[in-house]
């Protein structure tokens, strides 16, 4: 009888029984309606934002192909920035190309001409017949925050248009790569992102979730040849200025102060009687015939603001001045002898190997700074146009002199702003190296000593062939 019942169930009504058995051993799956959980809904909204950015940007981004002499081909990306058909891209994408083509996502290919290029920012503007394709809007990149979502669009690795997503991982990055193609120091202020950027993405836009351009994809740092999560874009704060200059003038005309600079360290600031956290730059030399000199600025002025904007470091000042027009009158604030002073400056126009292993000494030697000093002969001093000087003959690695930026071969010409031969120094002996070593050893712990230094100039083999005429200032707090 039992067997009969089981057979009956097996033959005619197994489904309900199977359902009851499974329900007893397997947890219930969530109902489809539970997918509307608030967290999932928010994630779907972000996904919709990514899709909207990709769809809006798609028509405006083009693959740029340049054909060079001999048939070599270079590919990158570019995007429309106005209704007149101007596309912004990287200089390294278009430089040396005899023919340029822009291919849009709808398959249309248009010939392009170079309007202007700027190797010092690695930016270029080209022009095509856009036939009414919408331009991408710009937004100020100085409003970006680390952690903000961004979307990179371009044509990487020979593929069709590709969209990658990530966040801003850092700002104000400098790689010291721009300008190398012409042997000049460029202007860098990169946005760093983990949105995948690969070869071919160069010149494409980096967009925020509103579909606004915040940067121009330009470079990667990689150990594999592909994206390692370190992509770099030129911020619109720089790119928009350069693009306007190229479109209106065909080149970028940059302003000029006529000074040499170095970054202000906390110890150096304290040596001038300023707060250790004071930001700014130190003027190491000022040409009397150039704008800053004509306005009355002097070497060892600490420049803290320009045209109402604070100056953070040397690169920040270079970038600010480079985006100003020659002839503009600006207010510059400096500290001189710990007193704040202001100057009105009329900006001018800018004109256009392995080092040898440095000798070291035993760590037990070198005194408080970790250096061995030697006198220079009067003949050498006359040749250098200096009244006195002491050579840093050897260094102890990891000691205060080396950590502060002093190198073997450097020439110390003054201490605390006073020449070694001045009355304040008050030494009438023959060995300035001996006097300076003794002076350093006699100072109390915590004393800040500021050295005026002339750096060495090396040849291709790393040999010292002279001294830089520009003076550098190094402040060391003695321990």
Scan for tokens 């860098």, then name that residue: 188
If asked whether residues 228 and 297 sit together in one domain, one would say no
**Pair 105, 124 in one domain:** yes
Does 343 share its domain with 385? Answer: no
Please say which residue of 234, 252, 270 terminates a domain. 252
**Within a domain: 24:** no
> Could you tell me if 173 and 162 lie in one domain?
yes
Question: Domain ends where: 215, 231, 252?
Answer: 252
Is 122 noted as a catalytic residue in this protein? yes
Q: Do 342 and 391 reside in the same domain of the chain?
A: no
Based on the domain organization, do 248 and 263 belong to the same domain? no
Print pLDDT tens along the chain (479 aa): 344 443 443 444 445 544 554 455 555 555 554 556 788 888 888 899 999 999 999 999 999 999 987 678 899 999 999 999 999 999 999 988 888 999 998 888 999 999 999 999 999 999 998 877 899 999 988 788 999 999 999 999 989 999 999 999 999 888 888 887 677 788 999 999 999 999 999 999 999 999 999 999 998 887 677 777 789 999 999 999 999 999 999 999 899 899 999 999 999 999 999 999 999 999 999 989 999 999 999 999 999 999 999 999 998 999 999 999 999 999 999 999 999 999 999 999 887 633 334 454 555 567 888 888 888 777 677 777 777 788 888 887 778 888 888 888 889 989 999 887 654 455 555 678 888 888 898 999 999 999 999 887 764 445 566 788 888 999 999 98
Q: Is 432 found in the same domain as 296?
A: no
Catalytic one among 60, 77, 86, 92? 92
User: How many structural domains compose the chain?
Assistant: 3
Q: Single out the catalytic residue among 60, 169, 202, 305.
A: 202
Q: Which of 252, 279, 312 is the last residue of a domain?
A: 252
Q: Which of these is catalytic: 118, 122, 301, 375?
A: 122
Query: What's the domain range around 283?
Result: 255-349
Is 354 a catalytic site residue?
A: no
Task: Report if residue 223 sits inside a domain.
Answer: yes
Residues 57 and 204 in one domain: yes
């Amino acid at each position: 009888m039992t067997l009969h019942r089981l057979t009956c169930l097996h033959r005619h009504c197994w489904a309900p029984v199977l359902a009851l058995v499974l329900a007893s051993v397997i947890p219930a799956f969530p109902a489809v309606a539970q997918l509307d959980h608030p967290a999932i809904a928010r994630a779907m909204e972000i996904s919709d934002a990514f899709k909207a950015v990709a769809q809006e940007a798609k028509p405006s981004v083009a693959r740029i192909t340049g054909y060079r002499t001999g048939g070599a081909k270079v590919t990158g990306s570019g995007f429309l920035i106005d209704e007149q058909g101007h596309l912004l891209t990287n200089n390294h994408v278009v430089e040396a190309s005899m023919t340029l083509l822009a291919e849009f996502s709808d398959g249309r290919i248009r010939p392009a001409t170079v309007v202007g290029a700027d190797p010092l920012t690695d930016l270029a503007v080209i022009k095509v017949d856009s036939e009414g394709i919408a331009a991408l809007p710009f937004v100020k990149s100085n409003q970006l925050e680390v952690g903000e979502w961004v979307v990179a669009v371009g044509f990487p690795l020979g593929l069709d248009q590709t969209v990658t997503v990530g966040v801003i991982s850092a700002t104000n990055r400098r790689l010291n790569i721009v300008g190398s193609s012409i042997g000049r120091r460029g202007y860098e202020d990169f946005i760093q992102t983990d949105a995948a950027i690969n070869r071919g993405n160069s010149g494409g836009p980096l967009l925020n979730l509103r579909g606004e351009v915040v940067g121009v994809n330009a470079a990667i740092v990689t150990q594999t040849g592909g994206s390692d999560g370190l992509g770099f874009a030129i911020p619109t704060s720089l790119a928009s200025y350069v693009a306007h200059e190229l479109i209106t003038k065909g080149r970028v005309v940059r302003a000029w102060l006529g000074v040499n600079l170095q970054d202000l360290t906390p110890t150096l600031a304290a040596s001038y009687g300023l707060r250790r956290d004071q930001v700014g730059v130190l003027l190491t030399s000022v040409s009397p015939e150039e704008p800053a000199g004509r306005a009355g600025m002097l070497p060892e002025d600490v420049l803290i603001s320009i045209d109402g904007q604070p100056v953070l470091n040397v690169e920040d000042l270079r970038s600010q001045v480079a985006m100003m027009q020659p002839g503009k009158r600006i207010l510059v604030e400096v500290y001189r002898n710990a007193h704040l002073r202001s100057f009105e400056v009329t900006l001018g126009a800018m004109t256009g190997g392995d080092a040898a292993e440095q000798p070291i000494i035993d760590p037990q030697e070198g005194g408080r700074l970790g250096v061995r000093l030697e006198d220079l002969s009067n003949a050498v001093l006359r040749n250098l146009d200096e009244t006195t000087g002491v050579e840093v003959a050897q260094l102890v690695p990891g000691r205060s002199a080396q950590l502060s930026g002093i190198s073997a071969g450097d020439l110390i010409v003054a201490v605390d702003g006073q020449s070694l031969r001045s009355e304040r120094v008050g030494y009438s002996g023959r060995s300035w190296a001996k006097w300076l070593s003794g002076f350093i050893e006699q100072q109390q712990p915590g004393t800040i000593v500021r050295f005026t230094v002339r750096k060495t100039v090396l040849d291709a083999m790393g040999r010292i062939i002279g001294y830089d005429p520009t003076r550098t200032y190094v402040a060391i707090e003695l321990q």
